[in-house]
Amino acid sequence: MNRHRLESLVLGLGALALLWSVVSASDELLEALGQHTAVIVAFLLAITVGELFRVGMPSGRIAAPVATGSGIALAVLGPVWGHDVFDVPAGVVTLVVATGLGLAQVLRAAMRRPTQWYLVAARTVGVAITAALMRVGFIDGEGVWAWQLDSEREAWLIAVVMMGAAAAGLYADIVLTALVQSERWELPAATTLRDELGEAQALTVGVIAAGPLVAFLAPVIGLAALPLGLLPMVLTYIAVRRYAANRATYRQTIAALSRLTEAAGYTPAGHASRVASRSVAIARSMGLHADAIQQLEYAALLHDLGQVGLRSPIPDGATVLAAPDDQRRIASEGARIVRRTEVLDTVADLMERQTTPFRHVREWGEEVPLASRIIKVANAFDDFSHGRADAPSVEAALERIHLGLGYEYDPEVVEALIRTIPAPSALTLR
């Protein structure tokens, strides 16, 4: 139970937002549904369909720009050409959006796609905040929402206020989601928050602006505002998908490069990918930034590439057992090959420094990137355990690493390595 504390908290907040919506809008809910049926159904459809088209960002953030943009649009919506002014309490907006998001989850479950109810909860809370802020009456007693009905009001001011309310809701959504993700991936919350808020700020700005765009179009072209105003979000979805897919193929290219040594029999099968995933796990538990983790992963995948230049393979490809000079030569050969790309210089630097013993850092103050120290430990762990995950192999590998603690290996990294290894009972079960 304690393990899912934050997720339960976010789900609880979502439930609270729904409860508040039902209580505060109970008197007007049925009337609103009857009066604005077409508008509500159109938005419900946009939110549900939009939520089915999600895209996973490289940081792990799940973006659904069409659904999020539609939700924000409904929260700020005022006059609609050909329909009654959408004058409903914030609770009605929240209930409609939550229903759309919930329907999408049910459909996802029916299609055997993964469902994440904490996302529904976080987005519901976000939309409730936007809708409530738009209707707060602290300025002239009527709320800023009513400014849309006043032709004397400056349009730019209305746009700024709408975007402010949209931003407050969207950022609340992002923060809540990041908290749950940090808990799920067992990462420091500050790192996840920094990555979530830092990644794709332009995407966040775009989504924030989509709602006001629909609201400004609606008084002139009615519900056609929904497809027209959401088109930029559809384009965003397509572009982000292409970007994410391309990032994946870039990684595949690096992975293919890393398999050269395995295909030619220099290193055991799967060694590079095991070292890479172990390195990433260690880096995450040490709170490294997403960009740094990305570079680390590439460097770890390619850490043995220099072996392609060897005339005869070293036994089992285990660089940890090679003479220090050979280790350095392999590392610099790999770095030289990778530098030829001109776009992986940082990765090449990390590869080159991976062989430096920790005592150079401790005694001579040599600057060795943390990522290189991580690769050194992860590589030694895989070489010593021969890539096996059974308890005796793991224990033997840890024992060998402990012999070089502080001298060859960074103790903090080794500590993080131990955190990434399942408890002994779990090992035995394997």
Partner 1 sequence: MLARYGTPIYIGVTVLGAVGLALVCHHLYGWPPEWLPLGLLAFIGALTWWLPSTSSDGLIHFTADNVVVLAAIPIVGPVGAGVVGLVMAALARRRIALHRRVFNMAMASASAMVGGIAYDLAGGSLSVGELHGVMPLILHVGLPIVVADAANLLANAGLVAGVVRLSAGVPFRLQLLDMLTSSGLTQFAYGVVAFVVIVMWLPGDLGPVAVLVGLAPLAGARWALLQYGEEREARERALGALVAAIETRAPELEGHSARVSAMAAGMAQELGLRPKEVADVRTAGLLHDLGTVVVAPGQEGADHERSAVLRGAAMLQDLPFLAGASAVLEQVAHAGPHQAAPTLAAEVVRVADDFDLLMHGDGLGPAEAMELLRSRPTMVEADRVLAALSRTQRAHDDGPAPDPMVAT
The least CB distance from residue 20 to partner 1, in Å, is: 29
Structure token digits, residue 205: 């700005």
Which of 270-278, 333-341, 372-380, 421-429 is the region at the interface with partner 1 (rule: CB under 8 A)? 333-341
What's the angle, vertex CA 218, arms to CA 214 and CA 221, rounded to 5? 120
Determine contact, residues 120/101, Cβ cutoff 8 Å. yes
Is 185 an interacting residue with respect to partner 1 (CB under 8 A)? no
Distance CA 182, CA 190 (A): 8
Closest to partner 1 by CB, 312 vs 425, is: 312
The least CB distance from residue 69 to partner 1, in Å, is: 7
Is 222 an interacting residue with respect to partner 1 (CB under 8 A)? yes
Is 233 an interacting residue with respect to partner 1 (CB under 8 A)? yes
Report CA 399 to chain centroid distance, whole Å: 35
Determine contact, residues 239/202, Cβ cutoff 8 Å. no
Which of 27-35, 86-94, 110-118, 242-250 is the region at the interface with partner 1 (rule: CB under 8 A)? 242-250
Buried b (16+ CB within 10 A) or exposed e, 317-337: bbbbebeeebbbbbbebbbeb
The least CB distance from residue 411 to partner 1, in Å, is: 33
Is 221 an interacting residue with respect to partner 1 (CB under 8 A)? yes
Closest to partner 1 by CB, 338 vs 397, is: 338
- For the purposes of burial, counting CB atoms within 10 Å of the CB of 181, is it exposed (0-12), middle (13-18) or buried (19 or more)? buried
Closest to partner 1 by CB, 319 vs 420, is: 319
Is 235 an interacting residue with respect to partner 1 (CB under 8 A)? yes
Q: Tell me the DSSP string of 284-317.
A: HHTT--HHHHHHHHHHHHTTTGGGGG-SSPPGGG
Is 239 an interacting residue with respect to partner 1 (CB under 8 A)? yes
Closest to partner 1 by CB, 206 vs 357, is: 206
Is 11 an interacting residue with respect to partner 1 (CB under 8 A)? no
Is 216 an interacting residue with respect to partner 1 (CB under 8 A)? yes
β-pairing, 55-56 vs 62-63, is antiparallel
Which of 41-49, 263-271, 286-294, 365-373 is the region at the interface with partner 1 (rule: CB under 8 A)? 263-271
Residue spans of alpha helices (H) in 386-410: 391-403
Closest to partner 1 by CB, 234 vs 321, is: 234
Closest to partner 1 by CB, 162 vs 176, is: 162
Is 95 an interacting residue with respect to partner 1 (CB under 8 A)? no
Determine contact, residues 386/393, Cβ cutoff 8 Å. yes
Please list, in sequence order, all residues whose beta carbon lies within 8 angstroms of the beta carbon of residue 63, skipping any fewer than 6 positions away. 54, 55, 56, 57, 200, 203, 237, 240
Closest to partner 1 by CB, 190 vs 231, is: 231
Is 229 an interacting residue with respect to partner 1 (CB under 8 A)? yes
Is 14 an interacting residue with respect to partner 1 (CB under 8 A)? no
The residue within the footprint of partner 1, chosen from 18, 96, 174, 210 (CB under 8 A), is 210
Determine contact, residues 149/84, Cβ cutoff 8 Å. no
Structure token digits, residue 174: 């992002």
Is 67 an interacting residue with respect to partner 1 (CB under 8 A)? no
**Total residues at interface with partner 1 (CB under 8 A):** 72
Structure token digits, residue 119: 């996302």
Provide the 8-state DSSP code for 423: P
The residue within the footprint of partner 1, chosen from 14, 50, 69, 71 (CB under 8 A), is 69
The least CB distance from residue 358 to partner 1, in Å, is: 28
Binding mask 278-317 for partner 1 (x = CB under 8 A): ------------------------x--x--xxxxxx----
What's the angle, vertex CA 407, arms to CA 380 and CA 375, rounded to 5? 30
Binding mask 141-160 for partner 1 (x = CB under 8 A): ----------x---xx--x-
Distance CA 261, CA 333 (A): 13
The least CB distance from residue 341 to partner 1, in Å, is: 4
Closest to partner 1 by CB, 112 vs 340, is: 340
Closest to partner 1 by CB, 81 vs 407, is: 81
Is 243 an interacting residue with respect to partner 1 (CB under 8 A)? yes
The residue within the footprint of partner 1, chosen from 52, 107, 189, 228 (CB under 8 A), is 228
In this structure, how many other beta carbons lie within 10 angstroms of the beta carbon of residue 310? 17
Which of 239-247, 275-283, 314-322, 381-389 is the region at the interface with partner 1 (rule: CB under 8 A)? 239-247
The residue among 279, 307, 306, 309 whose CA lies nearest residue 295 is: 279
